[in-house]
């Protein structure tokens, strides 16, 4: 599997929360960050799909 290295800035309060979660969960920062990215991706894909369905429903209802 290919990886992509990306340098980023993380707000201090978010980093502190992530350190606590890491301590409780025992997983690496990389694992936690990748899981978060997958959750964001899945939520955005769901949102886009819902928008498309709504747009199609409105178009069908109005005949546009």
* Residue 46 within a domain: yes
CA nearest neighbour of 28 among 19, 37, 40: 19
Residue 14 lies in a domain: no
Q: Residue 28: count other Cβ atoms within 10 Å of its Cβ.
A: 10
Spacing of C-alpha 22 from chain mean position: 18
- Look at residue 25 and tell me whether its pLDDT is greater than 80: yes
Full domain range(s) for residue 41? 26-64
- Which stretches does DSSP call E strand in 6-48? none
Does 38 map to a domain? yes
Q: How confident is the model at residue 51 (pLDDT cuts 50, 70, 90)?
A: very high
pLDDT-derived band of residue 35, with 50, 70 and 90 as boundaries? Answer: very high
Segment 13-17 mean pLDDT? 97
The answer to whether residue 17 scores a pLDDT higher than 80 is yes
| Assigned domain for 16 exists | no
* Domain tally, the chain: 1
Does residue 10 sit within a domain?
A: no
User: pLDDT band at residue 1, thresholds of 50, 70 and 90?
Assistant: confident
* Of 56, 63, 6, nearest in space to 34 by CA: 6
pTM of the predicted structure, to 2 decimals: 0.77
């Amino acid at each position: 599997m290919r990886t992509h290295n990306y340098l980023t800035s993380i707000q201090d309060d978010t980093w502190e929360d992530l350190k606590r979660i890491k301590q409780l969960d025992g997983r690496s920062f990389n694992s936690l960050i990748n899981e978060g990215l997958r959750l964001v991706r899945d939520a955005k894909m769901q949102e886009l799909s819902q928008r498309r369905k709504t747009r199609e429903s409105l178009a069908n209802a109005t005949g546009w």
